[in-house]
Structure 1
Amino acid sequence: MIVLERENDFIMMRQHDHALLSGKMVWEWKKNFLLRSKLREEADWATAQHDRAWIPLDEHPRWNEEKQRPYSFIDFPLEEKLAAYQRGIEEVASRSLYAGMLCSMHYQSFLSEDSEEAVIRDFVAQEKKRQEDLFAAMEMDVPRDIYDLHFDRLQFCDDLSLYVCMQTPGISKEDEISWFKNGFRQTFDFAPSGMIANWVDDKQVSVNPFPFEGPFDATIPLKVVKKTEIERLGLREAYHQAEEDQRFVTFIPGNGD
């Protein structure tokens, strides 16, 4: 769950909805940057489905007593989160070995094999073994540069979707969270120094350099859950009774594109 706290309520967005926005982004990717192919279709699908792990968890949001707010994907209990990651990867891999490998790499990249926590070290080791097995089972060899491009594109679209979901529309650059203030970490041939996004206003986000075919609109489902309702009903019931709303955004080229 993506959770934004305001004075009287919490804005809550399901992780899978955020991932579907990532999937829309890869569909809009400039054709001359990456030609369509069967392999690209699987990479696109991996991007849209990379957060399947969160579908059952977000159906039953939980309250973080220590922080007095709903758990988000950032602070959700680690062992349960890692177990869910593995279930999600297995679901994706059952349909596409290549998509499963990309999703496994995506989740593994968040964690270090040198962690002091055994559960993290075990997760990294198991996913590395899974990647080897999936690669061996694939019927085609994937050139390293194509694999790297698909992986970086998944992570960029994940980050750009989070940029839209985790912040107040129209926020100024100086007030953005540290993850995005200085641009995105991924680089591409057309963006050797990476890309940067800005909220132009409360409905438009510019991206420079612009990786998409043209401007496009997107919506992200969300729920506004009032704190008084959480106190009265508990988080789960308050969340399920809250009406579904949407955030609208248009992606446009930044200055220089």
Structure 2
Amino acid sequence: MICREQDGAIVMVKQHDHGKLAGELAIGFKEQHVPTEGRREEVLWAVAQHDRGWIDLDETPFWNDAEQAPYTFIDFPVVPKLTFYKRGLDEIEEHTPYGALLCSLHFERLIKIAGLDYPELTLYQEHEEERRARIHRELEASKPIGEDELYYDARLLEFCDDLSLYLALNEPGCPKSEEHPWWREGFSGTEDFSFTSGRVITAEWQDKSTLMLEPFPFEKTLEVAFMLRRVQKSEIAKKGIARAYSETPEEECRIVLTARNNI
């Protein structure tokens, strides 16, 4: 679950909904900078499905007693999180081995950034190294990975994941000083895209429904939407997180992504 606090409520977004939003962003990405041959449909599907391991976990949120808040994708207990990561990757591999390779590398990067150190994590990483090596061997025999193909696709997944998280973790229209700290200086890795000329893509809210990006990474102005729930803390205190969440109606958040020079 992706969570942020706002005016006596906890705004909650399901991980898989965030993943599907990332997939929409990948579809709208500048086509001249997306590989035209090979595995485009597989990549787009994998970007949209990369967090499918969270589908069952997010049906009923769990309460973190130590933090007096719902568990999120950041602090969810490691052992069950890794179990569902693996389950999601297994399901992705059934559909596209290349997509599983891409998503496995993505999770490996996130684990290294988090700096976690658990015995179970070592076992998970060893299993995923074996998965990636096997997929590499299978693809080499059937459809070899092109030069720089995997590197580019990994950057695409990283950026779409980051921008989707940005939209879920920030209150639309908030000033830069109140943004989530992960992206105040821009989206790391985006300087590798050729259209950025070595610059990092940055974001700034124009208002509560419009986000400006520079350099602009999409073919055209893009409107996206995702579902969220604003669960009142008072309802959590009375009913518990599971019931309060289930009784809170979903609402749609719509955001227009535009280039800064379009304003």
TM superposition score category, shorter chain reference: over 0.9
Structure 2, gaps ≥5 residues long: none
Which residue of 1 is the match for residue 129 of structure 2? Answer: 128
Identity of aligned pairs, percent? 34
The match for 1:189 among 184, 191, 194 is 194
Structure 1 pair 241/38, CA: closer, same or farther in 2 (3 Å)? farther
Which residue of 2 is the match for residue 227 of structure 1? Answer: 233
Q: Give the superposition deviation at 1:36.
A: 3.7
Secondary structure of the residue aligned to 2:145 is coil
Q: Give the superposition deviation at 1:247.
A: 1.0
Q: Give the superposition deviation at 1:44.
A: 0.8
Cα separation, 1, equivalents of 2:111 and 2:156? 19
The letter of the residue matching 2:187 is F
Secondary structure of the residue aligned to 1:246 is strand
Q: Give the superposition deviation at 1:37.
A: 3.8
Q: Give the superposition deviation at 1:202.
A: 0.7
The match for 1:246 among 242, 246, 252 is 252
Secondary structure of the residue aligned to 1:251 is strand
Secondary structure of the residue aligned to 1:194 is coil
Cα separation, 1, equivalents of 2:36 and 2:24? 15
Structure 1 pair 240/37, CA: closer, same or farther in 2 (3 Å)? farther
Worse-matched range after superposition: 33-42 or 208-217: 33-42
TM-score (norm 2): 0.93
Work out whether residues 5 and 11 of structure 1, in 8 Å CA contact, stay in contact via their aligned partners in 2: yes
Question: 1:146-196 deviations in whole A, cap 9, x for unaligned?
Answer: 111111000100001111110111111122222100001112112222211
Secondary structure of the residue aligned to 1:10 is strand
The match for 1:144 among 127, 144, 147 is 147
Which residue of 1 is the match for residue 26 of structure 2? Answer: 26
Which residue of 2 is the match for residue 15 of structure 1? Answer: 15
TM-score (norm 1): 0.95
Residue correspondence of structure 1 range 198-213 to structure 2 within 5 A:
198-213=204-219
Secondary structure of the residue aligned to 2:204 is strand
Which residue of 1 is the match for residue 182 of structure 2? Answer: 179
Q: Give the superposition deviation at 1:79.
A: 0.9
- Tell whether 2:215 aligns with 1:215: no
Work out whether residues 112 and 121 of structure 1, in 8 Å CA contact, stay in contact via their aligned partners in 2: no
Cα separation, 2, equivalents of 1:35 and 1:153? 11
Which residue of 2 is the match for residue 89 of structure 1? Answer: 89
Cα separation, 2, equivalents of 1:37 and 1:20? 23
RMSD: 1.8
Q: Give the superposition deviation at 1:35.
A: 4.4
Question: 1:58-101 deviations in whole A, cap 9, x for unaligned?
Answer: 00110010111111111111111111101000010111001111
- Tell whether 2:170 aligns with 1:167: yes
Cα separation, 2, equivalents of 1:80 and 1:4? 22
Worse-matched range after superposition: 35-44 or 156-165: 35-44
Structure 1 pair 130/219, CA: closer, same or farther in 2 (3 Å)? same
Question: 1:130-157 deviations in whole A, cap 9, x for unaligned?
Answer: 1111122222111231111111000100
Q: Give the superposition deviation at 1:256.
A: 8.8
The letter of the residue matching 1:61 is P
Structure 1, gaps ≥5 residues long: none
Cα separation, 1, equivalents of 2:243 and 2:79? 25
Q: Give the superposition deviation at 1:8.
A: 1.8
Q: Give the superposition deviation at 1:122.
A: 2.0
The letter of the residue matching 2:205 is W
Which residue of 2 is the match for residue 41 of structure 1? Answer: 41
Query: How many correspondences in the alignment?
Result: 257
Work out whether residues 40 and 150 of structure 1, in 8 Å CA contact, stay in contact via their aligned partners in 2: no
Secondary structure of the residue aligned to 1:32 is helix
Q: Give the superposition deviation at 1:125.
A: 1.8
